[in-house]
Homo-oligomer: A and B are copies of this chain.
Amino acid sequence: MPKQTFFNLPDAKRRLIIDTALEEFAFNTYDKASLSQIVLKAGIAKGSMYQYFNDKDELYTYLVEYVSEKKLSFINEALPQLRNDFFLLYKEVIFVAARFDIINPLYSSFLYSVGKDSHNPAISKKIMASSASFIEQMLEKAYSQGQIRKDINIKLAAFIISYLSVDVGEYIGEKYGFSYLSVLKSKLPNVPISDNQLEEVLDELIDFIKRGIASTI
C-alpha cells in the first residue's frame, strides 16, 4: 500500500504519476522499467517518489491493483442484466472486457505486460486464478441447468476458457495487424478495431468452445 502522502496529493499530480509509471511498465519489463525515468518524465524528484511508495515493488503492485479495479468496475457497470445462457453471458463479459482494452490502451498494455512478466509469478498466477474461478462459477450454474455436457471436467473447461479469453487478444492483434504497444506508442486514443470485427472473432471463438471442431457426420 502506498503511503498516506500519496493519497494527499492533488488528483492531477497523482494521476500524472500513475500514468507515467504505467507507461514505463507497459513498455518495459519490471526489471528494465526505471524509477529514474519515471520521475524524470513525471517531473518530480526521486525522493518524492519514496515519500509515496516504500519501494519499486510497492509501486508496481499498487498499479496492478489500481488498473484491475478500473477494469473490474468497468465490466460490472457495462454489463447488462444477467443472461441465463452461459454462452451469451460469456460473450457479453468478454465483449465488455475487450471493449475496455480497446478504449484504454494504456491500461491494457500494462495489464498485458503484467501477465507476461515473470518477475513476480505470483501476481500473474493470481490474476489468472481469479479469472478462472469466475468462469468456473458461471460454468457450474450452466452445468446445473443442463447447458453443459455431463461428462465435462468443469475445472479444466474453466481453465481453458479463461486462458483463451486472454490469448484471443493476441489473435485479434495479429489478424488486424496491430499491437497494443504500437497503438500506445502512436498516441492514438484507442485501438483501431470496430465492434463488428470484435464480435465476429468472438462468435467464432464461442462456437469453438461450444461445439468443437470435429465434423459430426
Contact = CB atoms under 8 A, between A and B. Distances in A.
Interface of A: 29-32, 87, 113, 116-119, 128, 146-153, 155-157, 159-160, 163-164, 167, 170-171, 174-175, 201, 204-205, 207-217
27 contacts: A29-B30, A32-B119, A87-B214, A116-B117, A117-B118, A128-B170, A146-B215, A147-B215, A148-B213, A149-B211, A149-B213, A149-B216, A152-B208, A155-B175, A156-B201, A156-B208, A157-B213, A159-B167, A159-B170, A159-B171, A160-B208, A163-B170, A164-B164, A208-B212, A209-B213, A210-B214, A211-B211
Contacts of A150: 215
* Copies, count: 2
A118 B119 contact: no
Nearest to A179: B121
Nearest to A119: B29
Nearest to A87: B214
A213 B152 contact: yes
A212 B212 contact: yes
A123 B82 CA distance: 41
